[in-house]
Each structure stands twice: as C-alpha cells, then as structure tokens.
Amino acid sequence: MIQSKLPNVGTTIFTRMSALAAECEALNLSQGFPDFDAPEALREALTRHVMAGHNQYAPMAGVLRLREQISAQLLLHRQVSCDPESEITVVPGATQGIFCAVMACVRPGDEAILFDPCYDSYQPSVELAGGKAIRVPLVPGQFSLDRERLEAALSPRSRLIMINSPHNPTGSTLSRDDLAYLEALVEKHELLVISDEVYEHLVFDGGEHHSVLQFPALRARSFVLFSFGKTFSVTGWKTGYCVAPGPLTAELRKVHQFVSFVAVTPVQMALADFMQAQPDYPATLAAFYQQKRDLFCSALRDSRFVYKPSSGTYFQLLDYSAITELPDTALCEQWTRQHGIASIPISVFYDQPPQQHYLRFCFAKSDPVLLAAAERLCEI
C-alpha cells in the first residue's frame, strides 16, 4: 500500500459543499464562482480562436501577446513595469502557480509562514516540498496582521511568507503600511514571499488594492499570483499568471514545465483579444461587486446575524453566534439540508480554530439568488 504524503488531507470543503448543494437543490453560496456569464466579447473570442484552429501547445511561458497585455494592464492599473519575456508566466490557475512557486523555493526542513485563516492549498504545497508550515493567526475579529506574533514565529529556518490580499475567506485587506512593514521584515530576514492577489480588483468603499509589486524591495523577493478566472468570471477556464523577478521566474518555470507545461492556448488568445479591446474592464468590477455585497447585506438587516460588510473579495462573513452554538462545519451541512442555503465554514481554513462562529457566503451571484438566499437566512 502507498503511504500518503498528505495523510491529513481529504476532499476539499468546496467540493463537498457544492456537491451537497446540488444534492439538496440548495442555493449555492459556498464555492467562490459567479453564477452569471463572462462578457460576451470574451466568450466569442474563445469560440473564434477554437474554430480558427488555435488548439495546439502554446509557448511554455504563455502566449507572448497575452503576456504583453498583462504587462500593459499592470502598468495601467498598478503603475508598475514588468518585462513580459522574463517576469510574467501564464499558468493554468493561480493555485497551480502557487504550487510551482512553493516547489521552486521551499527545501526540506524550510519553514513557511502562513496566516490563519488561510486558503486550503497553501499548507499541502509546503508539505509536499518537504517544508513545515508555521501558522500565525490574524487578529481575531479584525483579521489584520498581528506583527508581534509574526515576528515571534520567525526562526533561522524561516524561508517564505505567504500572504493573501484581498483575503479569502475573510474579505480583509492589507494596508500600505502593512506592506511597508513586510518589505522591511523580509529584507532583514532574507525571506521570500508568495503573494496571492487573485481578488486584486475587488476592493470596496473607495479602498485601494496595494500590490507587492508596488514595493521595490518586496517585489525583488516575491512571486505574485493573479487570476483571470476571478477578474473575468471564467473560473472554469483555470488560467492565471505569476509575476516575479527574472531569477525567481526562471526557477518557477523549471517547475511549471513539468507540472502542466502550458496553459490552454485558445483561452490565452481570447484573453489577449479582450484585454486589448477593453483595457479598462477591471476598473468596473469594484462597483459591480460592491452593489452585490450591499444588496445581500441590506437584505439581511432583519436577520439575527452580525456582520461587517466585506472590504474585498466576493465573500461575506456572517457571525451566527446569536442563533446557535453549533460548530460551523455541522451547521453548514444542517442549513444546506434544512434551509436550502449552502455556505462554507471558516474553521476549515485554520490550523487551530478559535472560539468564533462565522460562515462564509459568496455574493458573486445574480440579484434574485442573493435576495432568495437572504430571505431564507432571515427565517432562521
């Protein structure tokens, strides 16, 4: 029999809850994907390239025209200049890019700092590389960086810090001051950084996304991951990209070429067409998703939930402590079956879950679905 390299890992909570939602014909606000179509011009571009025969392997690093459009977008939206040849790699999803970055830089015995709660792929990636994940809790309730606990977690074996802003599952964001602090910290301790910025365009209430790429000393030590799926509502296309300095990119590509080799060719070409034709499209997303967040939260005003509107992503946490003391994992299953509303328990994002009572709901849904979900939640 094979001895598992991930003995504590099972099927992800997202797979389980989406399957349960389908089984119960529940409203699925669990897994993070939109229930509405991508822009028509983007879908038409994919059809056009498939029918034109652009269906064979792309260059390993990605279609150059797409990498050039990514470079143009980074200059337009982040005011940073990136070389499409040596600093940008197209990957089949940000999760794959994160895995390749971890495998490129974590060696057996190295320690990687992860902030709790964190996305579920981070720790298994570190462990498969032979490293050890050191979990550092964010400040409870605020979900902000706890600098004292972070510095206490550092050791001579510390190799990597993994950050995620806007943050899944909490919707919190890192401030400019947070990133300036991290910039000084990683320089002092000679650490590498993986920055998961897949929700970069979903920051609300006039807030601004602060990218690692905007901090020169931080950028010099970082792999930064982005997602076309989140930006263009095409999560099933599984396409993203990694931006890193030339030497880090070279190491990432050594791994990437043996994990997937390439991302899907016609998808890359369609994205390049759309980005060239509509370079300002990402700037429309914050207002679009804030309207959905506000609709959902407003419809919950007569419920027994306690909540603070999410600062970013398309996820909203709801505190159910006034309703029941049941553990969140059991409650998610119960409410999916009894009330027809599926969500995600955030305890699964922790190494050692604190005493709190939050469920995560995805509001990247049509307005009628959000209103129907809120109505069911108000009845609980």
* 236 and 189 belong to one structural domain: yes
This prediction's pTM: 0.97
Q: Spell 277-310 as b/e; 16+ CB within 10 A means b.
A: eeeebbeebbeebbebbebbbebbeebebebeeb
* 334 and 266 belong to one structural domain: no
Whole-number pLDDT of residue 91: 98
* 205 and 267 belong to one structural domain: yes
Residue 24 belongs to domain with CATH number:
3.90.1150.10
Domain assignment present for residue 3? The answer is: no
3-state percent breakdown (helix, strand, coil) of the chain, nearest 5: 45, 15, 40
* 61 and 154 belong to one structural domain: yes
Mean pLDDT along residues 8-29: 93
Mean pLDDT along residues 145-174: 98
pLDDT tens-digit series, residues 357-370: 999 999 999 999 99
Domain assignment present for residue 7? The answer is: no
Domain assignment present for residue 173? The answer is: yes
Residue 157 · residue 109 · CB < 8 Å: yes
Mean pLDDT along residues 52-71: 98
Whole-number pLDDT of residue 93: 97
Out of 222, 249, 281, pick the residue that ends a domain: 281
Q: How many separate domains does the chain show?
A: 2
Residue 229 · residue 236 · CB < 8 Å: yes
Out of 281, 303, 329, pick the residue that ends a domain: 281
Domain assignment present for residue 128? The answer is: yes
Residue 17: pLDDT band with limits 50, 70, 90: very high
* 154 and 215 belong to one structural domain: yes
* 274 and 294 belong to one structural domain: no
Domain assignment present for residue 4? The answer is: no
Domain assignment present for residue 361? The answer is: yes
* 20 and 65 belong to one structural domain: no
Torsion of CA 177, 180, 181, 183, to 10 degrees: 160
pLDDT of 219 > 90? The answer is yes
* 111 and 249 belong to one structural domain: yes
% of the chain with per-residue pLDDT over 90: 97
Residue 233 · residue 223 · CB < 8 Å: no
Mean pLDDT along residues 279-284: 98
Domain assignment present for residue 360? The answer is: yes
* 84 and 156 belong to one structural domain: yes
Mean pLDDT along residues 81-109: 98
User: Alpha-carbon distance 264 to 59, whole Å?
Assistant: 10
Domain assignment present for residue 6? The answer is: no
Angle at 160 between CA 12 and CA 222, to 5 degrees: 100
> Considering only 35-39, 281-285, 312-316, 351-355, which range has the smallest mean pLDDT?
351-355
Q: How far is CA 225 from the centre of its chain?
A: 9
Whole-number pLDDT of residue 347: 95
Contacts of 28 (CB under 8 A, 6+ apart): 17, 18, 21, 22, 35, 342
Out of 246, 281, 316, pick the residue that ends a domain: 281
Domain of 371 in residue numbering reads as: 13-38+283-378
Burial grade of 359 (CB within 10 A; 0-12, 13-18, 19 or more) = buried
pLDDT tens-digit series, residues 220-273: 999 999 999 999 999 999 999 999 999 999 999 999 999 999 999 999 999 999
pLDDT of 1 > 90? The answer is no
Place of tokens 């510390």: 158
ω into residue 108 within 30 of 0, thus cis? Answer: no
Q: What integer best gives the mean pLDDT of the chain?
A: 97
* 291 and 190 belong to one structural domain: no
Beta-strand pair 358-362/344-345: antiparallel
Residue 202 belongs to domain with CATH number:
3.40.640.10
Closest CA to 191 of 223, 159, 164: 159
* 341 and 355 belong to one structural domain: yes
Place of tokens 């067409």: 273
DSSP state of 108: T
Mean pLDDT along residues 274-302: 98
pLDDT of 160 > 90? The answer is yes
* 261 and 365 belong to one structural domain: no
